[in-house]
Amino acid sequence: MDGDLALCAGRQAEFRQVGRARRDGTPYSTPSSHVLSGDLEGSTSCQDLSGQGSTRLPDQRSEKASDVRKIIHVDMDAFFAAVEQRDHPELRGQPVIVGGDPGGRGVVATCSYEARRFGIHSAMTAARARSLCPQAIFLRPRMEAYREVSRQVMGILRCYTPLVEPLSLDEAFLDVTAATADGVLAVQIAREIRARIERETGLTASAGVSYNKLLAKLASDWRKPNGLFVVPPERGLAFLAPLSVGKLHGVGPATVKKLLSMEIHTVLDLRNASREALIAQFGKAGLWFYEIARGIDLRPVQPSHQRKSVGTERTFPKNLADPQVMLATLQQMAGQVAARLQVLGLAGRTVSIKARFPDFATITRAHTDAQTIWRTEAISACLPGLLAKAIPAGLPVHASVRLLGVAVSGLVNVEAVPPDTGQMNLLEDAVDLR
């Protein structure tokens, strides 16, 4: 991918200086120092802080620095597997797979980078992983250990801003706009966070810094593992242009297929499609695609106390027509939503489902309970009734769905969720669900 980017010799020289400062142990205590100029403030470069080069392209927008948000996405590297390798030194350097039983229907939850070299990845069946790498070491997840590290990591993140939005046990968005108002740079915060995580947990995290969630998340993935990457506003469009559309948030396999049939492969292709064409093809989602192709993503970072709902949704490569399959899919999502509620320390009173039909018409159906809901069982119990309301028998137009979603809203904070009662074990169970 680097081949697409013009190198900037000046910035590279500057980077080398950063590298020297780092080796000398010089602290990054002066935010105005040139060594931090890869940050979002007034910079025209996109620095690769992992030492693999830097890039520069002409300014493409002239937003005032004060209008620009500073978003960091932090993502632990191969999280479950890394915790196992940390706690069991004999596993270091080995292909380690945390997940379900390779002899059964289990799936890979996380695998070490050594295992990834064999083509193994998350969500692959454990049986397939074993056939790719027979010598791999298979471990069952130890969720309590991972939750403990997660609490530590989220605690570190909250030292820098109250605006921390965990996405799962091992990744979160931070909005550090306010923290940077007095001249501290977002990249400095990201660098410090990575160092603290490593020092305090013995594990590495990658971080991306940019002006919205879409780009911060793509940036954290850019130099994984153990990387830091910054996409300043003037670099956003060029950074996105060569990426395949499937990398974009909200673009699932079904959408990718449809986009490919429209000869849209890269984000640049998507940018060249007209707004009208995208809306005609994808409805409201088309508008989202139109905007993200231009690096526009106004979604706020939502800390759990401001959050209105916790949910998940999935677009299917082939429309689902069998109500039994729809229900099973919704129940699987209920487990994911319950796990997410646990991470966020939340519970709710309303369970809703969302269904999108082949004509892109979208409906939601909700059930509000007198009890607070946070366990999978409780969410699941609402699903048959909601599905029956969403897909009434005898309506052929809406008999199949291209998307389903489950959400819990009416949220309240759960002060103390007992760690080992049912709910969180669902994360373990989820490993064997597929």
Smallest distance, Mg ion to C-beta of residue 424, A: 18
| Minimal distance, residue 189 CB to Mg ion, in Å | 19
Residue with Cβ nearer Mg ion (169 or 407)? 169
CB of 78 to Mg ion, least distance (A): 7
The CA radius of gyration of the chain, in Å to the nearest whole number, is 22
For residue 341, give every residue at least 6 positions away whose Cβ sits within 8 Å of its Cβ, in sequence order, or none.
310, 347, 348, 374, 408, 414
Distance CA 285, CA 249 (A): 11
Tokens describing residue 121: 């990845």
Structure tokens at 52: 């693999």
Residue type present at position 46:
C
Asked about 41 being catalytic, the answer comes back as no
CB closer to Mg ion out of 41 and 170: 170
Cβ burial, residue 237 (10 Å; 0-12/13-18/19+): middle
Q: Decide if 228 contacts 235 (C-beta within 8 A).
A: no
Q: What is the DSSP string of 195-223?
A: HHHHHHHS--EEEEEESSHHHHHHHHHHT
> Which residue lies nearer to Mg ion by CB, 134 or 202?
202
Is 170 annotated in a binding site? The answer is yes
Rounded to a whole number of angstroms, the minimum distance from the CB of residue 224 to Mg ion is 8
Closer CB to Mg ion, residue 79 or residue 288? 79
**CB of 428 vs Mg ion, minimal distance in Å:** 18
The verdict on whether omega for the bond into residue 396 sits within 30 degrees of 0, i.e. cis, is no
Nearer to Mg ion, 101 or 221 (CB): 221
Alpha-carbon span 60 to 214, nearest angstrom: 18
What single string gives the DSSP state of each residue in 309-371? EEEEEEEEEEEE--HHHHHHHHHHHHHHHHHHHHHHTEEEEEEEEEEE-TT--EEEEEEEEEE
Q: Would you say the C-alpha torsion 248, 253, 259, 260 has a positive or negative sign?
A: positive
Residue 109 within binding range of Mg ion, rule CB under 5 A: no
Q: Convert residues 113-152 into a mask of x (bound to Mg ion by CB under 5 A) and - (unbound).
A: ----------------------------------------
Catalytic residue among 171, 200, 234, 313: 171
Compute the least distance from the CB of residue 75 to Mg ion, in Å.
4
Of 154-173, binders to Mg ion (CB under 5 A) are 170
**Binding mask 293-332 vs Mg ion (x if CB under 5 A, - otherwise)?**
----------------------------------------
Is 87 annotated in a binding site? The answer is no
Size of the site for Mg ion (CB under 5 A): 4
d(CA 171, CA 300): 16
Largest CA distance in the chain: 73
Cβ-proximal residues to 10 (8 Å cutoff; 6+ apart), any chain: none
User: What x/- string results for residues 36 through 75 when contact with Mg ion is judged by CB under 5 A?
Assistant: ---------------------------------------x
Tell me, residue by residue from 71 to 100, as one string, x for binding to Mg ion by CB under 5 A and - for no binding: ----xx--x---------------------
Q: Report CA-CA distances (Å) from 165 to 25, 75, 274.
A: 32, 12, 33
The angle at the Cα of 13, spanning 10 to 17, to the nearest 5 degrees, equals: 140
Residues that bind Mg ion (CB under 5 A): 75-76, 79, 170
Cite the annotated binding site for Mg(2+) by residue number: 75, 170
| Residue numbers annotated as active site | 171
Cite the annotated binding site by residue number: 75, 170
